[in-house]
Each structure stands twice: as structure tokens, then as C-alpha cells.
Amino acid sequence: MRKCQEEIINALGVNAQIDPEAEIDKRVQFLCDFLQTTNMKTLVLGISGGQDSTLAGRLSQLAVEKLRKETGNADYQFIAVRLPYGEQADESDAMSAINDFIKPDKMMRVNIKAATDAMVNSLTAAGAVISDFNKGNIKARERMIVQYAIAGQNGGAVVGTDHAAEAVTGFYTKFGDGGADITPLAGLDKRQGKTLLKSLNAPAKLYDKTPTADLEEDKPMRPDEEALGVRYEEIDDFLEGRAVSTEAAEKIESWYRRTQHKRHLPIAPYDTWWK
Ligand SMILES: Nc1ncnc2c1ncn2[C@@H]1O[C@H](COP(=O)(O)OP(=O)(O)OC[C@H]2O[C@@H]([n+]3cccc(C(=O)O)c3)[C@H](O)[C@@H]2O)[C@@H](O)[C@H]1O
Ligand SMILES: Nc1ncnc2c1ncn2[C@@H]1O[C@H](COP(=O)(O)OP(=O)(O)OP(=O)(O)O)[C@@H](O)[C@H]1O
Ligand SMILES: [Mg+2]
């Protein structure tokens, strides 16, 4: 195995083999332990209609149901949040994830278009030029603001959907979808997430779907793999310690190096990791 590959696997805590049932139990229990230790009662997560939030949402709902049953305290709750920018192309998938699978205690909908456009207009009026790509990151950060507002009002925590196949490339917005309190999918790669969804009897259309950030208006529903220049199959093989083409390995390692700053707290004078 490549030396850098081994370092990444260890840093991100990936296991090549997983037992789906045991993983589900472990990750639900992790959420339960977190809520009990912090004395919080509410989990909050944006549900996009994509694979990651479908899985993290269902695990969150299972955790609060378990705690309600075990403690007799009815206050534990999961709030799923729909956060479209205007009209969302795969709105029906998002609603199917919520109604047919996650079945959250509560669902809220906040359209982030007005806030996003107002921010872009204010920046433009101040003389800034905001590209479509940069506006995409503003959308991700508006979603973060909404989730923290709901968590703040409910004494709750924001669930993040980061996992190993995303962390390795840093393919998320810093302090946007990367901003969260707890990440129950950490250490899983994309196909392992899919396996957990199958095990939980999720509708196949939700995990067979092409992963997309869907942040850019110039490139609607652009597949992550197109933006990254490497396939999830290759990223997952790499993370499971398998051999991948040199080209794929070098791309993955390059993304990893370039996005190192996203996997750390802001750089302080005593930090040395960034040098
Ligand atoms: N070396 C360094 N040390 C410390 N900080 C550094 C830095 N380099 C950049 N930065 C900071 O980081 C910022 C760039 O990071 P960031 O703002 O995240 O922006 P960036 O990484 O350029 O873009 C985010 C990427 O993630 C994708 N994304 C976003 C959200 C969700 C999903 C999804 O899959 O759903 C995907 C999105 O499509 C885009 O390709 C810079 O503006 C700078 O402030
Ligand atoms: N339209 C949206 N409504 C609600 N939440 C959203 C929306 N778009 C993104 N998010 C939040 O941002 C997170 C990051 O998006 P990302 O695309 O990585 O995950 P996903 O959509 O759940 O899965 P996939 O990677 O398979 O598309 C989502 O998991 C979700 O919590
Ligand atoms: Mg998505």
C-alpha cells in the first residue's frame, strides 16, 4: 500500500470490513451517548434528498426514539430541515427520504434563496464580485446558519454528514456543511454508507442516486465525481487499502493535502501542522 494511503486511512479511521448491523447500532449509540452526556434533547439536520443526509437523518431519528424508550423522557426529538434554494430539482427525493424512510419527529422548511440573494446583493453593492462557485459556498453557509438557529432555539445540536470519502477530498464548504457539532458517519466511505442504508431498508432510489452538491447554478446537479475528477469507487477502494490507478491515487492525495486546513481548527500561532 502507498505510504500516504496508509496515513490517510489511519487519520480518517476507515475500516476495510464492516458489519452493517453492528455499525448502525454503534453509531446510534454514539448519538445517544452524546445527547445524554451533554444533556441535550434535540438533534437537527438538513435533509437534501441525497445519500448522506438520508443516512445521518435516519440514525438521528433512531437515536432519539431509543432514548425516549429507555429513559421515558418524551423531550428527545429529531428535527429534519428542508433547505431548498428556490425550487429544488430533486425535491421529491427529499420528501421521500423524509416521509418514507427517516420519519422525523418534526420537519421544518426554510427556503434559503432570499437570504442568499440578499447577501450576494449586499456584497455586490459593496463592490465585491461573487462568482457562481462562491455563491454556492454562501448557500452552504446559509444552510449552516438555519440549522444553528433551530438548534439554538431548542437547546440542540447540529448533525453533520461528513464521512471519510468526503473528508479525504475536503469536498465540502468550510464552516458551511462542514460546520456541525457531531458527525455520526465519520470513518465510513461512500459504499459503506450505502450498505448501511440497504440494511436499514431505505428506498433504493435514495442510495443509488448520483451524489451531487448541487450548489452551482451554471452546472445544476453536477455530479461530485465530475467536479473531483475521480470516482467514488476509486476513493472507496483507496480508503479500504486496495490498489487504485496511480492517477487516481495521486488525485486523491492531492485533494487531501490541499484541503488539510479544513480538517483542523483555525490555525493558531502555536500550530505547526500547516507548515
Ligand atoms: N491553506 C489554507 N489554510 C487555511 N485556510 C485556507 C487555506 N486555503 C484556503 N483556506 C480558506 O478556505 C477557503 C476555501 O474553502 P471553502 O470556502 O470551503 O471553498 P472551496 O474549498 O474552494 O469550495 C468548496 C468545494 O466543496 C464543494 N462542496 C461544498 C459544499 C457541499 C458539497 C457537497 O458535496 O454537498 C460540496 C463545492 O462544490 C466546492 O467544490 C478560502 O476562502 C480560505 O478562507
Ligand atoms: N437542499 C438541501 N436541503 C437540506 N439540506 C441540504 C440541502 N443541500 C445540502 N444540504 C445539507 O448539506 C449536506 C451536504 O451535502 P452533500 O451533497 O454532501 O450530502 P447529501 O446530499 O446528503 O448526499 P450526496 O453526497 O449523496 O449528495 C447534506 O447532507 C445536507 O445536510
Ligand atoms: Mg447532495
What domain range is 91 assigned to?
17-212
In a domain, 252, yes or no: no
Total domain count, the chain: 1
CA 80 – CA 91 distance, rounded (Å): 14
Instruction: Label residue 140 exposed, middle or buried (CB < 10 Å: 0-12, 13-18, 19+).
Output: buried
In a domain, 8, yes or no: no
Ligand 2 pocket test, pick from 44, 45, 52 with the greatest ligand atom count within 8 Å of Cβ, gives 52
In a domain, 1, yes or no: no
pLDDT tens string 25-55: 999 999 999 999 999 999 999 999 999 999 9
60 lines ligand 2 (CB under 6 A): no
Residue positions forming the annotated binding site for ATP: 46-53, 161, 190, 212
Which pLDDT score is estimated for 86? Answer: 98
Q: Give the list of residues 6+ apart from residue 232 with CB closer than 8 angstroms, or none.
A: 165, 189, 190, 191, 211, 224, 225
Catalytic site residue 52?
yes
In a domain, 173, yes or no: yes
With contact defined as beta carbons under 8 Å apart, do 207 and 198 qualify?
Answer: yes
Q: Characterize 19-34 residue by residue with b for buried, 16 or more Cβ atoms within 10 angstroms of its Cβ, and e for exposed.
A: eeeebbeebbebbbeb
pTM for the model: 0.97
Q: Looking at the CA of 52, which ligand is closest?
A: 2
The residues with which 45 forms a beta bridge, in sequence order, are: 80
Strand-pair category, 106-109 with 156-158: unpaired
Which pLDDT score is estimated for 221? Answer: 97
With contact defined as beta carbons under 8 Å apart, do 158 and 179 qualify?
Answer: yes
Q: Is 267 left (phi over 0), alpha (psi -120 to 50) or beta?
A: beta
The residues with which 60 forms a beta bridge, in sequence order, are: none
What number of helices (H) and strands (E) belong to the chain?
12, 4
DSSP for 197-264, written as a single string = HHHTT--HHHHSSPPB----SSSTT-BHHHHHTS-HHHHHHHHTT----HHHHHHHHHHHHHTGGGGS
Which pLDDT score is estimated for 226? Answer: 97
176 lines ligand 1 (CB under 6 A): yes
In CATH, what number is assigned to the domain containing residue 98? Answer: 3.40.50.620
With contact defined as beta carbons under 8 Å apart, do 82 and 188 qualify?
Answer: no
In a domain, 218, yes or no: no
In a domain, 105, yes or no: yes
Kindly give the parts of the chain with pLDDT less than 70: none
Which pLDDT score is estimated for 126? Answer: 98
Query: Going by CA atoms, what residue is nearest to atom 11 of ligand 2?
Result: 46
Task: Give the number of the atom of ligand 1 that is nearest the alpha carbon of residue 266.
Answer: 4
Contacts 24+ apart (CB under 8 A), 179-183: 179/141, 179/144, 179/148, 180/144, 180/147, 181/151, 181/157, 182/31, 182/34, 182/157, 182/158, 183/159
ipTM of the complex: 0.99
pLDDT tens string 53-66: 999 999 999 999 99
In a domain, 5, yes or no: no
The residues with which 232 forms a beta bridge, in sequence order, are: none
In a domain, 275, yes or no: no
